Amino acid sequence: MEHTRWYKDMVFYQIWPRSFYDGDGDGMGDLWGVYEKLDYLKALGVDGIWFSPLYPSPGADCGYDISDYMDIAPEYGGMEAFQKVLRGAHDRGMKVIMDLVVNHTSDEHPWFQKSRRREEPYTDYYIWRPGKKNGKLPNNWDSCFEGKAWQYDEVRGEYYMHIFAVKQPDLNMDNPLVREEVKKILRFWLELGVDGFREDVITYISKKEGLPNDYLMPANKGILYYNHGPHIHEYLTEFYRDVLADFDCMTLAEAPLVSPKKALSYIAEPDGEMDMMIQFQSMCADCLFTDYIHMPFSLRKLKRAWSSWQKKLDGKAWNMLYLENHDHPRIISRYGSERFRVESGKMLAAAYLFQKGTPFVYQGQEIGMTNWRPQSPDMYEDVQTRWQYEHTALHLSEGKRLRRMWLASRDSARTPVQWTAGENAGFTTGKPWFYVNQNYREVNVEAEEKDPDSLLNFYKKAIALRKSLEVVRGGSYREYHALSSRRYTYSRTLGKEKLLVLCSFADEPIPLRIPGGFDLSKAELVLRNYSQLQEKTMRPYETRVYYWGSGV
Ligand code: GLC
């Protein structure tokens, strides 16, 4: 089938279902709730939804530990609710993509239960190894969530590999039967009518033969041997050729530690194995590789990442643009300012929404939700946060360790979406499964819908503007003031059409600087976050978008 690449004209919205909206009053977000909010998404200008996992799961990693790939969890409303949402989305012209999590399953998946008992054909579905004679683990690799990457299983009498939590055993993708299972899963959902997949840590699925010890990496040992492993392209090509090519679908690969050059080996047009990549470089402007190693925010680092992806993919592949997802703390609390919450939220929106690519908005980002800061470490739910708190920086006081988690924890962005100023932020009529951020009385959808100057209404305007301008889809990208640590300036150009985006990342006024060649007297100011403009100054976190052409 000819690849239509419809996703290039779209804006996607990520739903992390537990915390989106509760439709049946049991305290947990669900698909009945999503159904009620489809018109909200449509009004925002969203054309597609990415669902974080909806499948049955014991919940050790909030759904990324799957025990049945071909069903929808009862707490989310089961298949009936899913079909209703899918139809409802399609009726509104919205696409739906699912999360495909096949680097690992839950240890409660029947495949694992049979594999540990050596029941055929499941014996080699996972990566099993005997321990070493001296009582040592099969190799020295680390897991990303809980210590070493090996867990001894009494039933089988061997160790299994888990690159993530202990309850997330890695599948053995070198086994052709496992790849057949993946293809069955893909086909099942595509035949049901879904429009594609976000593929979870998909670059991890092929491990280096012999699983050698890693003597190079100081932490995250093993990543050099399982990220972009030896057969990765072969397997992804097989999934594409045998299933995906038969459908008009899109695929989005999650790829930690990927450079633009490496990305091209997966997503270069016209015949990449996948369509877009979730890169992490632009999420590391205030940390070192992972949110858990916090550093002061560096705008120059952020701009280098953004511009490098814009330039290196240009004309060759398509960017996926994002500021937030369920794995990172909230962006205003990181790259913006809670003191200038609305202003900086708007500026950040303009900073990424007019780049070339397909933007994704994570639930709550559009109303400017900020980090949640629990008073006690026991309040954290996330397996990674809990492990980090208990095992790292133990020389620091408890208070300091807790503050580190505030900056890094995935739970900072997993609190329920704040719909109203009422009880439980209007998320549920029951008892919420998780804590609600206490700023909900001020930060909520209902209040922002009424306020023409709200962040929510800014997102609506910015998304509508992006869609109305051909230059945003196709124009070339250029950055100015690259060395500045306070301003981000970029233009987009397509023939005579031009867009200039000015963003201040400073919390105090800075001089307005317009790059040479842009005559403001002929431009239209199509978007801004302050109603009163100063001639020579940009206010804290100010943004302005100027347009030359006839498109508005
Ligand atoms: C991805 C997901 C994350 C999950 C991990 C293991 O990074 O986005 O939430 O914990 O993979 O599946």
User: Coil, helix or strand for 151?
Assistant: strand
Ligand 1 atom index nearest CA of 256: 7
State which of 64, 289, 360 you would mutate to test the pocket of ligand 1, scoring each by most atoms of that ligand within 8 A of its C-beta.
64
State which of 164, 226, 227, 292 you would mutate to test the pocket of ligand 1, scoring each by most atoms of that ligand within 8 A of its C-beta.
164
Q: How far is the CA of 200 from the centre of ligand 1 (A)?
A: 6
Residue-wise pLDDT tens digits, 499-545? 999 999 999 999 999 999 999 999 999 999 999 999 999 999 999 99
Handedness of CA 283, 289, 293, 296 (dihedral sign): negative
Cα→Cα distances 489→347, 469, 482, 484, 485, Å: 11, 19, 8, 10, 11
State which of 18, 145, 201, 410 you would mutate to test the pocket of ligand 1, scoring each by most atoms of that ligand within 8 A of its C-beta.
201
User: Coil, helix or strand for 331?
Assistant: helix
Residue whose structure tokens are 């503050």 = 403
Q: How confident is the model at residue 357 (pLDDT cuts 50, 70, 90)?
A: very high
Q: How far is the CA of 254 from the centre of ligand 1 (A)?
A: 9
Average pLDDT over residues 411-426: 98
Residue-wise pLDDT tens digits, 98-111? 999 999 999 999 99
Residue-wise pLDDT tens digits, 469-501? 999 999 999 999 999 999 999 999 999 999 999
The catalytic site residues sit at: 200, 254
Are 510 and 537 within 8 A, CB to CB?
Answer: yes
Ligand 1 atom index nearest CA of 383: 10
Q: Inter-axis angle of helices 232-242 and 260-267, to 10 degrees? A: 30
| CA nearest ligand 1 atom 3, residue | 327
First to last CA, the chain: 35
Identify the pLDDT of residue 2. Answer: 55
Neighbours of 250 (CB within 10 A): 26
Q: How confident is the model at residue 189 (pLDDT cuts 50, 70, 90)?
A: very high
Q: How far is the CA of 103 from the centre of ligand 1 (A)?
A: 10
Q: How far is the CA of 242 from the centre of ligand 1 (A)?
A: 26
| CA nearest ligand 1 atom 2, residue | 200
Q: Inter-axis angle of helices 383-391 and 398-408, to 10 degrees? A: 150
392 pLDDT higher than 80? yes
Give CA–CA dist 329/414, Å, rounded.
9
Average pLDDT over residues 280-286: 98
* Domain annotation for the chain: domains and CATH numbers: 6-105+176-459 (3.20.20.80), 106-172 (3.90.400.10), 474-548 (2.60.40.1180)
Residue-wise pLDDT tens digits, 50-101? 999 999 999 999 999 999 999 999 999 999 999 999 999 999 999 999 999 9
Residue/partner pairs of 299-306 with CB below 8 Å, 24 or more apart: 299/335, 299/484, 299/485, 299/486, 299/488, 299/505, 300/482, 300/483, 300/484, 300/485, 302/335, 302/488, 303/479, 303/482, 303/488, 305/279, 305/281, 306/282, 306/352, 306/355, 306/479, 306/488
Q: How confident is the model at residue 158 (pLDDT cuts 50, 70, 90)?
A: very high
In the Cβ-directed half-sphere of 212, how many Cα atoms lie within 13 Å?
Answer: 9
Ligand 1 atom index nearest CA of 64: 12
Q: How far is the CA of 374 from the centre of ligand 1 (A)?
A: 22
Q: Taking Cα atoms as reference points, which of 495, 450, 446 lies closest to residue 470?
A: 495
Identify the pLDDT of residue 133. Answer: 87
1 pLDDT higher than 60? no
Identify the pLDDT of residue 550. Answer: 78
Buried b / exposed e along 336-359 (16+ C-beta atoms within 10 A): bbeebbbbbbbbbbbbbbbbbbbb
Ligand 1 atom index nearest CA of 103: 12
Q: How far is the CA of 476 from the centre of ligand 1 (A)?
A: 33
Angle at 89 between CA 99 and CA 187, to 5 degrees: 45
Six-digit token pair at 47? 């054309």
Identify the pLDDT of residue 135. Answer: 86
191 Cβ neighbours under 8 A, 6+ residues apart: none
Give CA–CA dist 192/493, Å, rounded.
40
457 pLDDT higher than 80? yes
Could you tell me whether strands 128-129 and 150-153 are parallel, antiparallel, or unpaired per DSSP bridges? unpaired
Total-model pTM: 0.98
The sheet with strand 487-494 has its strands ordered as 476-480, 487-494, 497-504, 543-548, 524-528
Are 494 and 475 within 8 A, CB to CB?
Answer: yes
Give CA–CA dist 385/209, Å, rounded.
31
* Residue ranges lining ligand 1, Cβ < 6 Å: 61, 64, 101, 164, 200-201, 254, 326-327
Identify the pLDDT of residue 552. Answer: 57
Residue-wise pLDDT tens digits, 257-281? 999 999 999 999 998 999 999 999 9
Residue-wise pLDDT tens digits, 11-61? 999 999 999 999 999 999 999 999 999 999 999 999 999 999 999 999 999
Ligand 1 atom index nearest CA of 101: 12
Residue/partner pairs of 37-41 with CB below 8 Å, 24 or more apart: 38/85, 38/88, 38/89, 38/92, 38/94, 39/92, 40/445, 41/13, 41/94
Q: How confident is the model at residue 377 (pLDDT cuts 50, 70, 90)?
A: very high
Neighbours of 442 (CB within 10 A): 12
| CA nearest ligand 1 atom 4, residue | 64
Strand pairing partners for 500?
A: 491, 546
Give CA–CA dist 52/63, Å, rounded.
8
Q: Please give the mean pLDDT across all residues of the chain.
A: 97
Burial class (CB in 10 A: 0-12, 13-18, 19+), 450: exposed
Q: How far is the CA of 201 from the centre of ligand 1 (A)?
A: 7
The helix or strand, by DSSP H or E, that contains position 391, with its residue range, turns out to be helix 383-391
| CA nearest ligand 1 atom 9, residue | 327
Q: How far is the CA of 290 from the centre of ligand 1 (A)?
A: 13
Neighbours of 291 (CB within 10 A): 23
Residue-wise pLDDT tens digits, 220-259? 999 999 999 999 999 999 999 999 999 999 999 999 999 9
Ligand 1 atom index nearest CA of 325: 8
Buried b / exposed e along 12-44 (16+ C-beta atoms within 10 A): bbbbbbbbbbbbbeebbbbbbbbbebbebbeeb
Q: What are phi and psi of 219, to 5 degrees?
A: -140, 175
3 pLDDT higher than 90? no
Average pLDDT over residues 329-339: 98
